[in-house]
């Protein structure tokens, strides 16, 4: 599957910065949405996290989501979608 996933994040989230740098280093493409800049994205994050605004939240083309996943978990998910 060539579609990218979306990472919902905030500028101050250390876990987000770490995962973003790991994904960049691995050459894995993704979109970033800052939930502080895109208010409608908050609802997506809350829906995936039982009402919590937990980031990073990754949403995949199949509609599934992961919250604060490791790089290995992201790679595993992408392999399953391929």
Give tens-digit pLDDT for 26-73: 999 999 999 999 999 999 999 999 999 999 999 999 999 999 999 999
* Sequence-ordered alpha helix ranges (H) in 1-82: 14-26, 39-48, 71-81
Is the pLDDT assigned to residue 1 strictly greater than 50?
A: no
Residue 57, classed as helix, strand or coil, is: strand
Among residues 38, 17, 31, which one has the least CA distance to residue 60? 31
Domain ranges of the chain: 5-81
Q: Residue 27's pLDDT is what?
A: 96
pTM of the model as a whole: 0.93
In CATH terms, the fold of domain 5-81 is Glutaredoxin (3.40.30)
- Count other C-beta atoms under 10 Å from residue 82's C-beta: 7
């Amino acid at each position: 599957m060539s579609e990218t996933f979306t990472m919902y994040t905030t500028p101050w989230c250390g876990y987000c910065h770490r995962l973003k740098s790991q994904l960049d280093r691995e050459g894995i493409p993704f979109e970033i949405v800052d939930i502080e800049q895109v208010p409608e994205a908050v609802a997506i994050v809350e829906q995936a996290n039982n009402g919590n605004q937990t980031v990073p939240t990754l949403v995949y083309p199949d509609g599934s989501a992961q919250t604060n996943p490791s790089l290995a978990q992201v790679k595993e998910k992408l392999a399953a979608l391929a």
